[in-house]
Amino acid sequence: MASFQITGGRRLNGELVPQGAKNEALQILCAVLLTKEPVTIHNIPNIRDVNQLIDLLGDLGVWVTKIGESSYRFQASDVNLDYLESDTYKRKAAALRGSVMLLGPMLARFKKGRIPRPGGDKIGRRRLDTHFLGFEKLGARFNYDANDGGYYQVDASNLRGTYMLLDEASVTGTANVLMAAVMAEGITTIYNAACEPYLQQLCKMLNSMGAKISGVSSNLLTIEGVSELQGTEHTMLPDMIEIGSFIGMAAMTQSEITIKNCQIPQLGIIPDQFKRLGIQMEFRGDDIFIPAQDHYQIESFLDGGMMTVADAPWPGFTPDLLSIVLVTAVQAQGTLLIHQKMFESRLFFVDKLIDMGAQIILCDPHRATVVGLNRQIPLKGIRMSSPDIRAGVALLIAAMSAKGTSIIDSIEQIDRGYQHIDTRLNAIGAEIIRL
Strand order in the sheet with 39-42: 63-66, 72-75, 39-42, 232-235
Contact assessment for residue 63 and residue 54, using Cβ atoms and an 8 Å cutoff: no
Architecture of domain 22-235: Alpha-beta prism (3.65)
Separation CA 47–CA 49 (nearest Å) = 6
Q: Is 425 helix (H, G, I), strand (E, B) or coil?
A: helix
pLDDT of residue 115: 84
Give the residue from 384, 378, 433, 434 showing the smallest Cα distance to 407: 384
Task: Determine if residue 22 is labeled as part of a ligand binding site.
Answer: yes
Q: Which stretch of DSSP H or E encloses residue 369? A: strand 367-371
Contacts of 219 (CB under 8 A, 6+ apart): 169, 191, 192, 193, 194, 195
Q: What is the pLDDT of residues 72-98, one digit of tens each?
A: 999 999 999 999 989 899 889 888 878
Where does the pLDDT of residue 127 fall: very low under 50, low under 70, confident under 90, or very high at 90 and above?
Answer: low
Mean pLDDT of the chain: 94
Give the model confidence (pLDDT) of 259-301 as tens digits: 999 999 999 999 999 999 999 999 999 999 999 999 999 999 8
101 labeled part of a ligand binding site: no
Question: Are 22 and 54 contacting, i.e. CB atoms less than 8 angstroms apart?
Answer: no
Residue 118 has pLDDT above 70, yes or no: no
Q: What residues have CB less than 8 Å from 344, skipping those under 6 apart?
A: 124, 125, 365, 366
Is the pTM for the entire model greater than 0.95?
no
Instruction: Please determine whether the domains at 3-19+238-434 and 22-235 fall in the same fold group of CATH.
Output: yes
The rounded percent of the chain whose pLDDT value lies above 90 is 84
Our answer to whether residue 121 is catalytic in this structure is yes
Give pLDDT tens digits for 368-409: 999 999 999 999 999 999 888 999 999 999 999 999 999 999
pLDDT of residue 1: 81
The answer to whether 342 is annotated as binding is yes
State the Cα–Cα distance between residues 179 and 164, nearest whole angstrom: 15
Segments making up each domain of the chain, as ranges: 3-19+238-434, 22-235
Q: Which residue type does 200 have?
A: Q
Instruction: Compute φ and ψ for 56, nearest 5 degrees.
Output: -65, -40
Order of strands across the sheet that contains 359-364: 307-310, 335-339, 367-371, 359-364
Q: DSSP labels for 40-103?
A: EEES----HHHHHHHHHHHHTT-EEEE-SSS-EEEE-SS--GGGGGSHHHHHHHHT-GGGGGGH
Among residues 55, 59, 82, 121, the one annotated as catalytic is 121
Please compute the mean of the pLDDT values over residues 234-252 and round it to a whole number.
98
Residue 320 among known ligand-binding residues: yes
Q: What architecture (CATH level 2) is domain 3-19+238-434?
A: Alpha-beta prism (3.65)
